[in-house]
């Protein structure tokens, strides 16, 4: 009985449709052309008519054949096989529509309506899945003539605040594809900025999970193999540079710190158990630390990939300044400890990033970009030169913060002196250029002027005081002593010239 086979085919199609994800089911509304719908109606009617014809032939006991050329087959065979052929064709086309990787859009208006309905009912997961399912048509510049209304709607909805606030329902694969696609018609800079800010606000988001898996030491960070979001940004750091990723990192961390300053109880002023205070290399699910780690990863990747940009690495120093503005010690803090409180851990983490970067020229096996062209404090598209500025700027912020304990200040000044001496001792011409630049930043700050600002002079006075308190025996041997004495004498000379 052919009708049983036809029923089995249609039952299989219905079963397949029922197990499809919702975004694939929605293709029935916009991915089937009018001609296909008319053909389906005609095919359905034809199957019914053929079935009735078969019933008539059986009831009338008619016995004749068609097509008696080579093979003579009864009419019932042709009627039944025609039903099966039509049903198989309809089922095959239906499966093709629902199972192909990316469907053809036949009804732009219906797709636009579906997108807006999904957004209005906050079905963001299905919405992002529909957009990803039709990425080439909706977001690729190569398909700009197709579905213009749906394209504009998709771009509008993807940057809507309510969608990004529910970022956990936005497919990470779609976000990564948008970020890494230079042909995407969406404003990728705006999308990346708002998406990263939303991820940063959620301490359990994909961003925190991937940052925790970052590999390597300071200045040699690597994108983890399992990463999706970080890989889309930093496997090719020119993408992160193009999208100005430093902006959402800085803005999010500074916003979080300002929020903390407005709260009566700041958990960072004490020795928080959330921080591994005895191991600065170990990352934590903390929004401030995540920002520092991202700058470290960005700088590491950009140096390896020879990116012609300083990636605004001095923005990390802005985070240090914001931390210092919040710095206080509560009753649980230990002023004499290496990490007096949680803020102390974060400050030393940032200092360690800068120190590792500016001492890279002392390495013998170097596979990173060094492009300094001029000794001095003028800005260049060079990461290491910018790191020297950020390092001194961070030192200044810490030394000029009255609430920071003297022992802590002594520790960070010791980091500065050791980095200074390491650079000074390198025989490499480029290394010497970075050493001379660091020397000028320490003495004069930034800019082309050789006259330090009043704030910088205050920093030099505090630096001079802290240097005098260091254990002189640590810097009394060989060339170390010469460089140590030179820096100390030059600082005092500047202070004497600008009383």
What would the DSSP string read from start to end of 343-402?
Answer: HHHHHHHHHHHHHHHHTGGG-SS--S-----SSSSS--S-HHHHHHHHHHHHHHHHHT-T
Range 5-21 average pLDDT: 82
Q: Which of 212, 360, 390, 368 is nearest to 284 (CA)?
A: 212
Between CA 492 and CA 486 the distance in angstroms is: 10
What pLDDT is attached to residue 81?
A: 76
In 10 A of CB 182, how many CB atoms? 9
Out of 8-12, 170-174, 448-452, 457-461, pick the least confident. 448-452
Q: Which residues pair with 74 in a beta bridge?
A: 65
> At 68, is the pLDDT very low, low, confident or very high (cuts 50, 70, 90)?
low
Range 20-32 average pLDDT: 88
Burial of 409 (0-12, 13-18, 19+ CB in 10 A): buried
Query: Token pair for residue 329?
Result: 């010690």
> At 312, is the pLDDT very low, low, confident or very high (cuts 50, 70, 90)?
very high
Between CA 152 and CA 191 the distance in angstroms is: 15
Summarize pLDDT for 94-128 with one digit per residue, the tens: 888 888 888 888 889 999 999 999 999 999 999 99
Residue 428, classed as helix, strand or coil, is coil
Q: Which of 198, 213, 201, 344 is nearest to 283 (CA)?
A: 213
CA torsion angle 124 128 134 136 (round to 10): 140
Beta strands in 154-266 (DSSP E): none
What pLDDT is attached to residue 483?
A: 86
Which of the residue ranges 30-34, 189-193, 277-281 has the most confident prediction, judged by mean pLDDT?
189-193
Range 20-49 average pLDDT: 84
Between CA 424 and CA 433 the distance in angstroms is: 9
Asked if residue 331 has pLDDT above 90, the reply is no
Q: Which of 351, 433, 335 is nearest to 396 (CA)?
A: 351
Asked if residue 22 has pLDDT above 70, the reply is yes
Query: Token pair for residue 279?
Result: 């191991």
> At 315, is the pLDDT very low, low, confident or very high (cuts 50, 70, 90)?
very high
In 10 A of CB 348, how many CB atoms? 20
Between CA 418 and CA 435 the distance in angstroms is: 12
276 versus 294: the higher-pLDDT residue is: 294
Query: In the chain, what percentage of residues exceed pLDDT 90?
Result: 43
What pLDDT is attached to residue 295?
A: 96
What pLDDT is attached to residue 252?
A: 96
Asked if residue 226 has pLDDT above 90, the reply is no
What pLDDT is attached to residue 281?
A: 54
CA torsion angle 399 490 387 259 (round to 10): 20
Asked if residue 278 has pLDDT above 60, the reply is no
Contact 298, 245 (CB under 8 A): yes
Asked if residue 277 has pLDDT above 60, the reply is no
Domain boundaries, the chain: 2-99, 111-186, 199-497
- The C-alpha R_g of the chain, in whole angstroms, comes to 34
Q: Which residues pair with 66 in a beta bridge?
A: 73
CA torsion angle 464 470 471 475 (round to 10): -60
């Amino acid at each position: 009985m052919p009708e049983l086979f036809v029923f089995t085919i249609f039952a299989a199609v219905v079963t397949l449709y029922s197990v499809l994800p919702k975004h694939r089911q929605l293709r029935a509304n916009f991915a089937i052309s009018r001609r296909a719908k008319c053909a389906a109606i005609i095919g359905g009617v034809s199957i019914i008519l053929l079935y009735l014809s078969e019933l008539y032939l059986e009831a009338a006991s008619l016995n004749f054949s068609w097509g008696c050329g080579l093979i003579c087959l009864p009419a019932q065979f042709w009627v039944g096989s025609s039903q099966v052929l039509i049903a198989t064709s309809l089922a095959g086309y239906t499966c093709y529509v629902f199972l192909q990787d990316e469907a053809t859009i036949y009804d732009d208006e219906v797709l636009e309506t579906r997108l807006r309905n999904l957004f209005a009912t906050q079905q963001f997961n299905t919405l992002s899945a529909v957009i990803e399912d039709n990425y080439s048509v909706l977001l690729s510049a190569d398909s700009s003539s197709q579905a213009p209304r749906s394209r504009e709607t998709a771009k509008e909805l993807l940057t809507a605040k309510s969608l990004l606030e529910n970022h956990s329902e936005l497919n990470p694969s779609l976000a990564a594809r948008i970020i890494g696609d230079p042909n995407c018609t969406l404003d990728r800079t705006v999308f990346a900025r708002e998406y990263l800010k939303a991820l940063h606000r959620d301490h359990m988001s994909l961003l925190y999970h991937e940052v925790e898996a970052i590999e390597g030491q300071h200045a040699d960070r690597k994108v983890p193999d399992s990463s999706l979001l970080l890989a889309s940004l930093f496997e090719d750091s020119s993408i992160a540079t193009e999208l100005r990723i430093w902006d959402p990192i800085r803005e999010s961390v500074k916003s979080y710190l300002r929020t903390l300053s407005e709260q009566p109880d700041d958990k960072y002023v004490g020795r928080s158990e959330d921080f591994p205070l005895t191991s600065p290399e170990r990352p934590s699910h903390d929004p401030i630390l995540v920002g520092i780690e991202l700058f470290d990863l960005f700088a590491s990747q950009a140096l390896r990939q020879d990116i012609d940009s300083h990636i605004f690495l001095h923005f990390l120093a802005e985070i240090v300044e914001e931390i210092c503005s919040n710095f206080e010690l509560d009753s649980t803090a230990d002023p004499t400890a290496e990490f007096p409180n949680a803020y102390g851990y974060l400050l030393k983490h940032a200092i360690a990033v800068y120190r590792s970067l500016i001492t890279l020229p002392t390495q013998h096996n170097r596979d990173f970009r060094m492009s300094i062209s001029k000794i001095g404090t003028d800005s260049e598209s060079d990461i290491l030169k910018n790191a020297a500025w950020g390092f001194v700027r961070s030192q200044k912020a810490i030394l000029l913060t009255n609430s920071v304990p003297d022992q802590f200040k002594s520790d960070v000044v010791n980091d500065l002196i050791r980095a200074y001496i390491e650079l000074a001792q390198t025989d490499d011409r480029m290394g010497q250029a970075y050493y001379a630049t660091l020397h000028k930043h320490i003495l004069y700050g930034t800019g082309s002027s050789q006259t330090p600002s009043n704030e910088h002079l205050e920093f030099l006075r505090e630096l001079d005081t802290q240097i005098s308190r260091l254990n002189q025996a640590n810097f009394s041997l060989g060339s170390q002593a010469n460089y140590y004495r030179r820096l100390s004498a030059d600082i005092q000379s500047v202070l004497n010239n600008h009383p």
